[in-house]
Amino acid sequence: MITEKQIEETLKELFGGLRFTEEPAGLYEPLRYMIQIGGKRIRPRICLMAYSLFKDSLDESILAPAAAIEVFHSFTLIHDDIMDNAAVRRGVPTVWKKWDANTAILSGDAMCIESYRLLGKAPADKLPDVLRLFSDTAVQGCGGQQHDMEFESRESVPMDDYIMMIGLKTAVLIACAAKMGAVIAGADLVSQELIYQFAYSLGLAFQVADDYLDTFGDPAIFGKAIGGDILNDKKSWLLTKAFELTEGDGLMHKALLDAMALHTASDEDKARKIDAVREIYVRLGVDAAAKSEIRRYHEEALGFAAQLPISNIGHAMLQRYAESLLGRAK
């Protein structure tokens, strides 16, 4: 069976050799930048991992599709950072901040197209299913981003709506990556669906963890400034839960609204707002509730994985993957 060490070595070689050398340089330099600054590679990793559950070796049939997933994800990050007004990504300036918004938009578009070019290298007999899965996921991701933007104009959103949004915006691409690996490996339809549901639940847990770390994480580990969601009044899981918990409590609800309304003209103002909102979260127990939710989705994911007809080694690999993805917030 393919080992995790082999998968890590393959990922390093795959993205170390991924070059965007076309002209004009001004279009492709941001693409190289996004690949070079790395990231956790969680999507291509689970794609290769899912493939390895049903195959004994990694071959060319899976490498380009796995890279396509990461390139597409990087495209979404370039555009998301513009919409979120985010200045830092993975500890370095975002593309629009390093260059400008117009360059970021155009380079993001090119990155999206490059992902389909890579995806086209999938085995011919699997290509229709792979393209259908990938394209459906891409459209779902756009829908999730639209919901996310629309939520910003609302004072609060129901938790069910929030979970629907992160499912579309985050979880489906992780699930797509996992299922794509299984599809290309020739897994049966039941196994394809189980690995999809495993990764989808894990994707929900990952996004809740990301929301948690944006407020309570270590910036050196998190890779971007803490408190961005608070400063941008973003409808994170934490804020959604806080509004839910203050229903019927007029004083706490007002305190939350007052904290969210604090000015952010200076760095001192920004720090004051982050501290004020974070203090309310702690008083409400939102931080503990987030950790509980992360664990719940984690257990749900492992429940799907347990049903897969794979070896004990394969099951252990999926468990370690889930732990590595969520350990920083659990």
**What string of DSSP letters covers 91-148?**
TEE-HHHHS-HHHHHHHHHHHHHHHHHHHTTS-TTTHHHHHHHHHHHHHHHHHHHHHH
C-alpha pair distances (Å), 121 with each of 58, 61, 69, 157, 235: 15, 7, 13, 41, 38
Of 130, 131, 143, 132, residue with least CA distance to 170: 143
Question: 204: which 2 tokens?
Answer: 């929900």
Give me the DSSP letters along 199-254.
HHHHHHHHHHHHHHHHHHS-HHHHSS-TTHHHHTT---HHHHHHHHHTTT-HHHHH
Q: Taking the CA of residue 155 as centre, how many other CA atoms within 13 Å lie in the half-sphere pointing to its CB?
A: 10
pLDDT tens digit sequence for 210-267: 999 999 988 776 666 789 899 988 899 999 999 999 998 889 999 999 999 999 999 9
* Bridge partners for 92 per DSSP: 89
Domains of the chain: 4-326 (1.10.600.10)
293-327 pLDDT tens trace:
999 999 999 999 999 999 999 999 999 999 988 87
Give the model confidence (pLDDT) of 80-130 as tens digits: 999 888 888 888 999 999 999 999 999 999 999 999 999 999 999 999 999
More confident residue, 4 or 284: 284
